[in-house]
Chain A
Amino acid sequence: MNQQKRIRGRVATIAVAAVAMLALAGCTPRAAAGDSAVADDAPIVIGASWPQSGPLGSVAPGLSGLEAAIAAANEAGGVDGHEITLVTADDAYDPSRLVENERKFVEQDGAIAVVNFGGISIAGREYLGQKNVMGVSMAGNSPLSDVEAFPMQRAFWPDVSWEAQLQGKWLTENKPDAVVGYIGFNNDLTESHLAGLAEQGIVPAQVAAVAPGTADLSAQISQFQAAGVDTVIFNIGAPTGGSTLAYMQQIGWKPTVLLSSTVSDFHTVINLAGPEAVKDAYSFEFFKDPSDPRYADDEVIAQYTADMEASGHDADVSNALALEGYGLGAALIDALSRAESYDSEGLLTAWDSFDSTENPMLRDGITLDASAHGRVVFQYQLSRFDGTSWTDEGDIQDVRDLGIVD
Chain B
Amino acid sequence: MSAQIAVPNRSDHREAVRPPSAPNGGPPVRPAAARVSFWLGVVAALLAAVVPFVVSDYDLFNLSRVAAVAIGVASLNLLTGFSGQVSLGQGAIFGIGGYAAMMSMRFIEMPAWAALLVAIAVGGVVGLVIGLPATRMGGFNLGLLTIVIAALFPVLLYRFSDFTGGQAGVTLSAPALPSPTEALTDAQWLYLVVLALLLATIAFLNRLVGRRTGRALSLIRAGRILAVSSGVDTHLVKLQLFVISSMIAAFGGAIFAFVLGLVVPESYPLIFSITILVASVVGGSRSWVGAILGAALVVYLPSITSSVIPGEASAYLAQLVFAVVLGVCVIVAPNGIAGGIRRLAIWMRRRSRARRSPRTAPTASPMPETTPDREEPR
Residues of B close to A122: CB separation below 8 A = 167-169, 262, 264
B44→A188 contact, CB < 8 A? no
Chain B: minimal CB distance from A374 (Å):
15
Residues of A close to B211: CB separation below 8 A = none
Q: How far is the CA of A295 from the CA of B166 in the complex (A)?
A: 39
Q: How far is the CA of A261 from the CA of B30 in the complex (A)?
A: 71
Chain A: minimal CB distance from B182 (Å):
16
Is B210 an interface position by the 8 A CB rule?
A: no
Q: Find the residue from A57, A187, A189 having the highest chain B CB count within 10 A.
A: A187
Is B332 an interface position by the 8 A CB rule?
A: no
B292→A19 contact, CB < 8 A? yes
Q: A2-B31, A32-B56, A94-B266 are in contact. Are A19 and B296 (CB under 8 A)?
A: yes
Residues of A close to B56: CB separation below 8 A = 27-30, 32-33, 107-108
Q: A14-B344, A27-B59, A188-B161 are in contact. Are A90 and B306 (CB under 8 A)?
A: yes
Give per-residue flags for B46-70: 1 if the beta carbon is below 8 A from chain A beta carbons, else 0. Answer: 0110010111111101110100000
By DSSP majority rule, is chain A's interface helix, strand, loop, or mixed? helix
B302→A187 contact, CB < 8 A? no
Chain A: minimal CB distance from B361 (Å):
16
Residues of A close to B342: CB separation below 8 A = 7-8, 10-11
Name the interface size band of chain A: 35 or more
Q: How far is the CA of A211 from the CA of B342 in the complex (A)?
A: 44
Q: Which of A96-104, A262-270, A285-293 contacts B (4 or more CB under 8 A)?
A: A96-104
Q: How far is the CA of A11 from the CA of B48 in the complex (A)?
A: 18
Q: How far is the CA of A145 from the CA of B369 in the complex (A)?
A: 64
Give per-residue flags for A1-44: 1 if the beta carbon is below 8 A from chain B beta carbons, else 0. Answer: 11011111111111110111011101111101100000000000
Residues of B close to A2: CB separation below 8 A = 31, 33
B51→A23 contact, CB < 8 A? yes
Other-chain contact of A143, B168, B338, B346 (Cβ < 8 Å): B168
A186→B159 contact, CB < 8 A? yes
Chain B: minimal CB distance from A48 (Å):
13
Chain A: minimal CB distance from B179 (Å):
14
Residues of A close to B33: CB separation below 8 A = 2, 5-6, 8-9
Other-chain contact of B260, A29, A57, A89, A123 (Cβ < 8 Å): A123
What are 15 pairs between A and B in contact, CB < 8 Å?
Answer: A8-B33, A9-B37, A10-B349, A11-B289, A22-B293, A53-B318, A99-B61, A99-B260, A107-B56, A107-B57, A122-B169, A123-B260, A123-B262, A123-B267, A191-B166
| Nearest 4 Cβ contacts at the A-B interface | A52-B315, A10-B345, A53-B315, A188-B167
Residues of A within 8 A of B (CB): 1-2, 4-16, 18-20, 22-24, 26-30, 32-33, 52-55, 57, 60, 89-90, 92-97, 99-100, 103-104, 107-108, 119-120, 122-123, 125-127, 141, 143, 186-189, 191, 211, 312-313, 315
